[in-house]
Structure 1
Amino acid sequence: MKLIILDRDGVINHDSESCIKSPHEWIPIPGSLEAIARLNQADYRVVVATNQSGIARGMFNIMALNAIHQKMHAAALSVGAEIDAVFFCPHAADDGCDCRKPQSGMLHAIGKRFDVSLKGVPTVGDSLRDLQAGFVAGCSPYLVLTGKGEKTLGKGGLPPGTTSYANLAAVVDHLLKKPAPGHAI
């Protein structure tokens, strides 16, 4: 089985400085859902791994998060894409959980659920914590320059082997062996 792990905000949809708190605020990045459809057509299982500390901080509740994810799934289906699962961490940064990225607990849970080794599994994110979690779990980290990606690239300190691409569609082009501009960091 081929598996790919995607961060949500800044990779699939536009991010917000104050976090995405309602379905109305969830707006896909152009081409991201179509890129997921291409992954599906190439027999990839697509899983989302997302920190959602807004729950712990009282900015929104689990019902709002479920509504956001319903909108994401419906939008994906409307272009022939399917997201196989969404894993999320509802904890605040200082809660000390092992599921909040940059910890790798959420990614290990994905590997266990899908009964697959994470070694070499592509993980796509726009923040250092996404890439760190993937690297520690044995995944291949891909940085997209959407969302916080350009800031992340500018700060440096990325895990070894991280490759950067303009957006999720460019990562998918690379994974499906179509030429796309990118460079190893």
Structure 2
Amino acid sequence: MTPHFLFNLLDFAGTFAFAFSGAVAARTRGLDVFGILVVAFIVACGGGVLRDLCIGAVPPAGISDWRYMAISSTAAVMAMYSRIVRERLELPVVLFDSLGLGLFAVSGAQKALAYGLTNEASVLLGMLTAVGGGILRDILLNRVPAILKGQIYALAALAAAFIEIYGRSALWSSDWRTAVALAVCFALRFLAVRYDWHLPRFASVADDD
């Protein structure tokens, strides 16, 4: 199995996990079939589309490559119509979501750097690639984006993008820095879900009254 094939396999698995989680959230909010399909696609590909628009890579890969649409639609249909599938895929989706988060952060940072952006901008766009779809999902579902409520999600993506870009500056080998970036992101995200880790939060105004 070549590294390129494995990278694509993880990319598609992450896309499926993101789309599945988005479809479940949309289904829970009572959206119709079309709405669920749209939210699933946006969660899976929205961050990459935003990144590509920012760096001028048009048409965005999430729109021009039919495989992303097919994967997100398949995940949405499975989430809509099979309760058994939803239950059995709960843990695998968490695993692939954690892997996909790091993978999207790394690939997003790499692409931004390849288009001539600075290290700092590449790190930020790597994070945007990973979390942008979730932000758009929460906006569409009329709720505060999850990454703004203390979840260790954007922080994990930021760590992966940072390691990828600055590991490159430190002349780490490409395989080594990518492996470390993915491992750190996966560990942070999975452990945060497992042990309910959160960043510090403040009481709401209503709680203070």
TM-score past 0.5 threshold: no
TM-score range, shorter chain: 0.3 to 0.5
Structure richer in helix, relative to its length = 2
Using the size of structure 1 for normalisation, the TM-score is 0.33
Structure richer in strand, relative to its length = 1
